[in-house]
Amino acid sequence: MKVIAPRSVPAGASRLSLDVLFRKFTGAIALLVTLSLAGILIALTRESWPALHRFGWHFLISTAWDPVSDNYGALVFIVGTVVSSVIALLLAIPVSFGIALFISEMAPRWLREPVSAAVELLAAIPSIIYGMWGLLVFAPWFGNLEPWINDHLGAIPWIGALFQGPPMGIGMLAAGIVLGVMIIPFIAAIMRDVFLVTPQALKESAYAMGATTWEVARYVILPYTRTAVTGGIFLGLGRALGETMAVTFIIGNANNLSASLLMPGSSIASVIANEFTEATTPLYKSALLALGLILFVITFVVLVLAKLLLLRLDRMEGRQA
């Protein structure tokens, strides 16, 4: 009796089938994420349509927010969201750069790991903890500092109106500072990682030519890592735009516009958190969901701008090469 041996499957064919399976699996996951994003957008648009249909474009430029008369506008909250996020970035970018540069270039080896761990630990703290710290610790201290801000910064021509107001400790500026503290660990961690992967030969060549640490950072490290650094900054901006609990604790939650950064304000996320459970009428609920749709669009626009900026930086690097 003749025994027929089974055919052996080539190892290359097996690896090819696994590669195809892996490609299909990752493609399905990517498609699932895209469909989830589209579903969120469709749901927000559908639920916010009554408010958008009734108020139209006037919803974006109106400062009214009166649940009693069902009259709503989003301008106060859009301004509060954007202004607090910009303040956070203005604080977080230089501090994050300093932390990352210290860890990657100046810290001794025995100190590098503890500082890096502390930065990562700050990124893991829940936002509500930052909010409680801001309200119970930072706000009283900042309230004592605000008279000095009034007397010195408030007297500066052109920008003095931004720093005039009662010393309450809470407000737009306080919320921006707390947001800045929150996003510093995210931006600093990304900057640290990309600074550490900068080729050592480039930095040593600059040092050998007599460059200082600042000159190495400015002319070697930053040009080499600017794409990743820009991406990290926009990641921090996205975090600041969507922050809810920390801002709700410290921004003051006042539905009015003021030229002063020391006055209370409100953001899209904070007003939704404060009033969603009180939305007893369909139009009221629709207006809050319309605010959520606007925040979604703002975040999407920021990410698109970040992508366009990164593509432009890549093209510039290609021309220089």
Q: What is the largest CA-CA distance in the chain?
A: 106
Distance CA 266, CA 252 (A): 7
How much of the chain, in percent, has pLDDT values that exceed 90? Answer: 34
Q: What pLDDT was estimated at residue 211?
A: 85
Category of 9 on φ-ψ map: left (φ > 0), alpha (ψ -120 to 50) or beta: beta
What mean pLDDT do residues 13-31 have?
Answer: 83
What is the total residue count of the chain? 321
319 pLDDT exceeds 70?
Answer: no
Could you tell me the domains of the chain?
A: 57-320 (1.10.3720.10)
**pLDDT score of 7:** 53
Strand ranges, E, within 54-182: 65-66, 71-72
Least confident of 14-28, 50-64, 94-108, 120-134: 14-28
* pLDDT of 196 higher than 90: no
- CA of 115: how far to CAs of 108, 109, 122, 167, in Å? 11, 10, 11, 34
Contact 165, 146 (CB under 8 A): yes
Give the CA distances from residue 296 to residues 43, 72, 78, 116, in Å, rounded to whole numbers and listed in that order: 12, 19, 12, 32
Q: Are 251 and 270 in contact (CB under 8 A)?
A: yes
- pLDDT tens for 279-295 read 888 999 999 999 999 99
Is the backbone of residue 159 left (phi > 0), alpha (psi -120 to 50) or beta? alpha
Give Cα 157 to chain centroid, integer Å. 31
Nearest alpha carbon to residue 276 among 267, 268, 285: 285
The CA distance from 271 to 248, in Å, is: 8
φ and ψ at residue 34, rounded to 5 degrees: -65, -45
pLDDT at 75: 92
How does pLDDT run across 63-110, given as a tens digit for each residue? 889 888 889 999 999 999 999 999 999 999 999 999 999 998 888 888
Q: Give the list of residues 6+ apart from residue 266 with CB closer than 8 angstroms, or none.
A: 76, 77, 80, 251, 252, 253, 254, 255
Q: What is the pLDDT of residues 139-149, one digit of tens each?
A: 999 999 988 99
